[in-house]
């Protein structure tokens, strides 16, 4: 434009500061993108952050640059129209017989084809990327560390987060990505509530997630469960074990197994009094032929009138399996398991009580917990069990390391995540679980009671210490481990058992 001899390469309107900035930005980002694309494509194990930058962070800037180009041109057009700038000397025209025009046209065609292909691959990779376990569990690592750590040890460790949290279909994809976007911003600003609230209200119904892989209407018979419990002090009693058959069937016992709950027989609806759905005072069961039974507790808010529709939830898999992929166990079962598997020697005096004690305390951070657990346990053995410590130093060191490992895999002080914040609703020993309804206190107007019979959900086939084992395939009367005062018959297990 400076000398009259040179012809302009682009439309007259192209030459303005806004368009320059846009073009520069677009060119710069395009250069970066080509480089990163290459890196991501050809490396065997591309980093999560590389994917994040390439497919999620940079593309909006590229688009911004491209948008600025026409905006600048439009701005200049307006300026010309208002007479603030010189009018265009000559109207744009394309003349295919001129080689300069043909070249420009080819450049445009090839350029936009490459751009289109890159956009297509890019959006697919962006989609893939946000679907990956790494994206959910690692990118937001501080936020999701508890769930991710627990998940890698769960039976669902090969099921992607999105298969339960999003499921199939574009609608849920968009919905969850929009709410995910908000979460990303909250994370950046460190605004996220700790612990992350549960239950997740917008979790997709189980029919569209769990039931894509499982079909509990087709579960048959029973599965076996074996637990071994250790006394506080090995000198007081031998370990106690219980073997039982869980009646998981969708059909068993006149069509009444555990999974018949929501399949062959009835649909169950309930209203919870609290946010975490741990106190349930109104339950409605609707049989397949449509007959309704309503069960309430004595002090239910809904004895006279049913709860408002928005408080009623239809029971599905997650109401029992609330922790299928990321369960945070309590100190007592964790220590029982480590003793049983030999990571902690069961011969060490008072080890169960001491380990449970240090695991139950609240710490400010993971680092502080590791330090204090080691210090407290070693101090106890050096002072209170001095001779045993001298004779078995290595055994105690191993036990201390095992307790620290238990802590780091199940307790997350930074996110305030632990068993008492995220109750597991399977069972009734440590959280109310089944006994939220099956506590024997939920009765219908006609006098039917939701069963608390110990034999309705499982059959105990073996119980006791190794030298005094009772066995029966018919089912045994429950005997409370170590000491049986009969209180479990009338009280709920959770009245005494908290897991710590
Ligand atoms: C097998 C299904 C399943 C998989 C796989 C799964 N989740 Fe979950 N997740 C759930 C359910 C069910 C809940 C709701 C628990 C509740 O309502 O009490 C949940 C809740 C959550 C919560 C809310 C806080 C909490 O712990 O309750 C977060 C965060 C979460 N999941 C993250 C993840 C991440 C990250 C992954 C992958 C590493 C993942 N989930 C994989 C089923 C799953
Ligand atoms: C993408 C498929 C898939 C989805 C979705 C899925 N699961 Fe699973 N689930 C599996 C597989 C596979 C196993 C078996 C793992 C094994 O046996 O090692 C399993 C195992 C289980 C088990 C048995 C665990 C155990 O201790 O053996 C339960 C309970 C379960 N799933 C519940 C659920 C619930 C509840 C949901 C929905 C929140 C769900 N699953 C969603 C694939 C899935
Ligand atoms: C009323 C509570 C309840 C509901 C609702 C429920 N389950 Fe279960 N489920 C159990 C119990 C109890 C077990 C026994 C295992 C245990 O105690 O961990 C079990 C076991 C399982 C198992 C492993 C045993 C087997 O039969 O293979 C799978 C898989 C499973 N459930 C999937 C589901 C799915 C999927 C749904 C939803 C469609 C569902 N469950 C609904 C209570 C329930
Ligand atoms: C929201 C309330 C609620 C929860 C929580 C609940 N149930 Fe139930 N359950 C019911 C109701 C209501 C019935 C009775 C259905 C009917 O016949 O009307 C029932 C019946 C049963 C039966 C049949 C009992 C019989 O002898 O007739 C089994 C087995 C069962 N539930 C297992 C479980 C297990 C296992 C859990 C926990 C993992 C559980 N339920 C949690 C409401 C609940
Ligand atoms: C509504 C169903 C239901 C009823 C009624 C029921 N249980 Fe259970 N019970 C379960 C389930 C589910 C589990 C958990 C299995 C698991 O941890 O996966 C369980 C677990 C147990 C355990 C092992 C505890 C653990 O976590 O190590 C014992 C012991 C037990 N029950 C005893 C009893 C006794 C005693 C009664 C009668 C007062 C009873 N149960 C009534 C469903 C029931
Ligand atoms: C009155 C309080 C009380 C009630 C109610 C109660 N327990 Fe216990 N339970 C205890 C005490 C105390 C111990 C002994 C702890 C120890 O010595 O290690 C214990 C120990 C146990 C243990 C072995 C300890 C372990 O390592 O987990 C099991 C299993 C158990 N109880 C099951 C049950 C079940 C199931 C119920 C409900 C049906 C129940 N208890 C109700 C007080 C109670």
Q: How far is the CA of 157 from the centre of ligand 6 (A)?
A: 32
Supply 494's token pair.
């959770």
Q: How far is the CA of 480 from the centre of ligand 1 (A)?
A: 34
CA 217 from centroid of its chain's CA atoms:
25
Closest CA to 352 of 495, 228, 205: 228
Q: What count of other Cβ atoms lies within 10 Å of the Cβ of residue 82?
A: 8
Query: Is the distance from the beta carbon of residue 406 to the nearest atom of ligand 4 less than 6 Å?
Result: no
Q: What count of other Cβ atoms lies within 10 Å of the Cβ of residue 467?
A: 6
Give the model's pLDDT for residue 90: 56
Ligand 6, pocket-test mutation among 353, 439, 462, 480, most atoms within 8 A of CB: 480
Give the model's pLDDT for residue 3: 42
Ligand 5: residues within 6 Å at CB? 225, 227, 242, 426-429, 434, 438, 451-454, 456-458, 478, 488
Of ligand 2's listed atoms, the one at least distance from the Cα of 317 is 35
Give the model's pLDDT for residue 185: 62
Q: Give residue-wise pLDDT tens across range 443-498.
A: 999 999 999 999 999 999 999 999 999 999 999 999 999 999 999 999 999 999 99
Cα dihedral 456, 457, 460, 461, rounded to 10, equals: 100
In sequence order, the 6+-apart residues with CB closer than 8 A to the CB of 14 are: 8, 69, 72, 73
Q: Over the range 24-43, which residues count as b (16 or more CB within 10 Å of their CB) and which as e? A: ebbeebbeebeebbeebeee
Asked if 12 contacts 92 with a C-beta cutoff of 8 angstroms, the reply is yes
Closest ligand by atom to 258 CA: 4
Query: Is the distance from the beta carbon of residue 162 to the nearest atom of ligand 4 less than 6 Å?
Result: no
Asked if 226 contacts 254 with a C-beta cutoff of 8 angstroms, the reply is no
Of ligand 4's listed atoms, the one at least distance from the Cα of 448 is 18
Supply 10's token pair.
């682009």
Give the model's pLDDT for residue 408: 94
Give the model's pLDDT for residue 252: 46
Ligand 1, pocket-test mutation among 152, 165, 192, 199, most atoms within 8 A of CB: 165
Give the model's pLDDT for residue 272: 94
Closest C-alpha to ligand 5, atom 28: 429
Ligand 1: residues within 6 Å at CB? 133, 136-137, 144, 147-148, 151, 156, 159, 161, 163-165, 196, 198-200, 203, 318, 322, 324-326, 422
Closest C-alpha to ligand 4, atom 41: 434
Whole-angstrom distance, CA of residue 436 vs CA of residue 427? 10
Closest ligand by atom to 211 CA: 3
Closest C-alpha to ligand 2, atom 28: 324
Radius of gyration of the chain (CA): 32
Query: Is the distance from the beta carbon of residue 209 to the nearest atom of ligand 2 less than 6 Å?
Result: yes
Give the model's pLDDT for residue 334: 97
Whole-angstrom distance, CA of residue 70 vs CA of residue 81? 16
Cα–Cα distance list, 292 to 140, 286, 313, 440, 497 (Å) = 46, 5, 16, 19, 34
Closest CA to 406 of 206, 153, 228, 169: 153
Enumerate residue ranges in the chain where pLDDT < 50: 1-5, 252
Ligand 3, pocket-test mutation among 258, 432, 456, most atoms within 8 A of CB: 258
Closest C-alpha to ligand 4, atom 37: 434
Closest C-alpha to ligand 3, atom 30: 216
Q: Give residue-wise pLDDT tens across range 245-259.
A: 999 887 645 556 888
């Amino acid at each position: 434009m400076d000398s009259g001899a040179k012809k302009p390469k682009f439309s007259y309107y192209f030459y303005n500061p806004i368009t320059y900035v846009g073009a520069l930005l677009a060119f710069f980002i395009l250069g970066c993108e080509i480089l990163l694309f290459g890196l991501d494509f050809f490396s065997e194990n591309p980093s999560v952050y590389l994917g994040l930058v390439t497919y999620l962070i940079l593309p909006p800037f590229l688009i911004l640059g491209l948008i600025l180009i026409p905006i600048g041109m439009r701005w200049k057009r307006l300026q010309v129209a208002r007479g603030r700038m010189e009018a265009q000397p000559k109207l744009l025209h394309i003349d295919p017989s001129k080689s300069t025009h043909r070249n420009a046209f080819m450049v445009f065609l090839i350029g936009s084809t490459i751009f289109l292909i890159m956009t297509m691959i890019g959006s697919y990779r962006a989609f893939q990327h946000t679907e990956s376990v790494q994206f959910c569990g690692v990118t937001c690592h501080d936020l999701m560390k508890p769930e991710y750590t627990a998940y890698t040890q769960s039976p669902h460790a090969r099921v992607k987060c999105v298969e339960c949290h999003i499921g199939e279909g574009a609608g849920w994809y968009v919905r969850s990505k929009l709410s995910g976007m908000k979460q990303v911003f909250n994370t950046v600003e460190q605004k996220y509530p700790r612990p992350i609230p549960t239950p997740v209200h917008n979790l997709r119904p189980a029919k569209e997630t769990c039931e894509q892989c499982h079909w509990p209407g087709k579960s048959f018979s029973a599965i076996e469960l074996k637990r071994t419990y250790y006394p506080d002090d090995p000198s007081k009693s031998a370990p106690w074990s219980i073997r039982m058959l869980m009646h998981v069937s969708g059909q068993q016992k006149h069509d009444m197994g555990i999974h018949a709950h929501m399949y062959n027989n009835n649909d169950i609806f309930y209203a919870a009094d609290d946010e975490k759905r741990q106190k349930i005072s109104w339950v409605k069961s609707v049989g397949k032929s449509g007959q309704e039974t309503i069960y309430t507790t004595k002090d239910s808010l809904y004895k006279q009138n049913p709860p408002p529709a928005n408080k009623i939830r239809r029971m599905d898999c997650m109401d029992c399996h609330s922790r299928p992929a990321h369960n945070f166990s309590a100190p007592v079962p964790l220590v029982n398991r480590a003793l049983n598997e030999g990571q902690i020697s069961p011969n060490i005096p008072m080890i169960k009580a001491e380990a449970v004690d240090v695991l139950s305390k609240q710490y400010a951070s993971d680092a502080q917990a590791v330090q204090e657990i080691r210090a407290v346990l070693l101090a106890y053995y050096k002072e209170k069990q001095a001779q045993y410590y001298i004779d078995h130093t290595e055994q105690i060191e191993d036990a201390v390391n095992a307790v620290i490992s238990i802590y780091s895999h199940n307790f997350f002080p930074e996110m305030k995540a632990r068993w008492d914040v995220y109750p597991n609703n399977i069972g009734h020993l440590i959280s109310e679980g089944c006994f939220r309804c099956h506590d024997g206190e939920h009765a219908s107007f006609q006098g039917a009671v939701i069963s608390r019979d110990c034999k309705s959900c499982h059959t105990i086939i073996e119980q006791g210490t190794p030298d005094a084992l009772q066995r029966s395939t018919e089912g045994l009367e429950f005997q409370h481990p170590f000491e049986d005062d009969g209180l479990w018959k009338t009280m709920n297990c959770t009245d005494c058992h908290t897991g710590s």
